[in-house]
Amino acid sequence: MDLYYKDKKKINFSKMHGLSNDFMVINCIEENFILSSCIIKQLSDRYTGIGFDQLLLIEKSNNALFDFNYRIFNANGNEVEQCGNGARCFGLFLLLKGLTNKKKILVSTKKKPLIIEFLPKNIIKVDMNEPDFTFHNLSSLKNILYKNFSIKLFRGNLICSLVSIGNPHCIIKVQCIKNAPVKIIGENIGKNPIFPEGINVSFVEIINKNSIKLRVYERDVGETKACGSAACAAVAMGIAQKLLSDVVEVELLGGKLTIIWKGFGNPLYMIGPATHVYDGFIYI
């Protein structure tokens, strides 16, 4: 072996994407890799690394009730609770690598379990659990539910809605998605001290009761081509406010998702594609 690689570890990975929201996926079932936030940042760099929005780790579950454990790290190395597009890629990876032959699996995450169901043509259905509008984890925000919430921004106040899909989302309704100031507002809300762990900021244009357009500024990442959990959050907000029906098509920059929610007391479902791009390996 070349001396350059002598003290380095070889890691096999897959590059995948869900509606252009892209991921580096590593199978940690046989061997659990410990990757520092510094290494994850290096790997996420699109010029000198692999390049990705999030890193996904597939682990063996310590609980017999679950088929696998699912971990997500943003490009800056921070571990996060949820990623909807990642969940679909996670499921497709398991199928492509022969790690499961089930039609439906239960996986554990940092916060809530997910049910992933395999449909034809690499279409994945994910049970994202029931949306949470209470935000009890934020000391200054209690029982705000799905009503409009006002955030101080620049010299005025911005009206938005707050929803958790296992991870936190701020939803802002706009007249025209094309002209939405995604970066400026997304950065500023994300740094607001009332969100100590940051928050995903989405801009939604409601076309009709069955269709919306969405752009998303993801915490620690920036604007991405798509965010599955944000699509779920935006639809949940619209249904709770009686602006949308229970089946909604969400158009993101990278493509479309179908979100189904029958309302309070019911789980929310996300349906969409996942794509395998290539397999590779890297020494770190």
122 in a known ligand binding site: no
CB 197 within 8 A of CB 143: no
- Per-residue b or e along 202-229, where b marks 16 or more CB atoms closer than 10 Å to that residue's CB: bbbbbeeeeebbbbbbbbbbeebbbbbb
Buried b or exposed e, range 247-274, using 16+ CB within 10 angstroms: bbbbbbbbbebbbbbeeeeeebbbbbbb
Q: Is 74 annotated as a binding residue?
A: yes
CA distance 227 to 218: 8
Residue 200 assigned to a binding site: yes
Burial class (CB in 10 A: 0-12, 13-18, 19+), 31: exposed
Task: Select which of 83, 89, 160, 170 is catalytic.
Answer: 83
**Does 218 carry a binding-site annotation?**
yes
Tokens for 215, please give them: 């752009």
| Active-site residue, selected from the candidate residues 28, 160, 227, 232 | 227
**Which two structure tokens, joined as six digits, stand for 66?**
């679950």
DSSP letter at 120? T
Q: Which sign, positive or negative, has the C-alpha torsion 216, 221, 225, 229?
A: negative
Residue 219 marked as a ligand binder = yes
Asked if 227 is an active-site residue, the reply is: yes
Instruction: State yes or no: 78 annotated in a binding site.
Output: no
Has 228 been labeled as part of a binding site? yes
* Residue with token string 């692999």: 50
Residues serving a catalytic function are 83, 227
Output the known binding site for substrate: 21, 54, 74, 84-85, 167, 200, 218-219, 228-229
Return binding residues.
21, 54, 74, 84-85, 167, 200, 218-219, 228-229
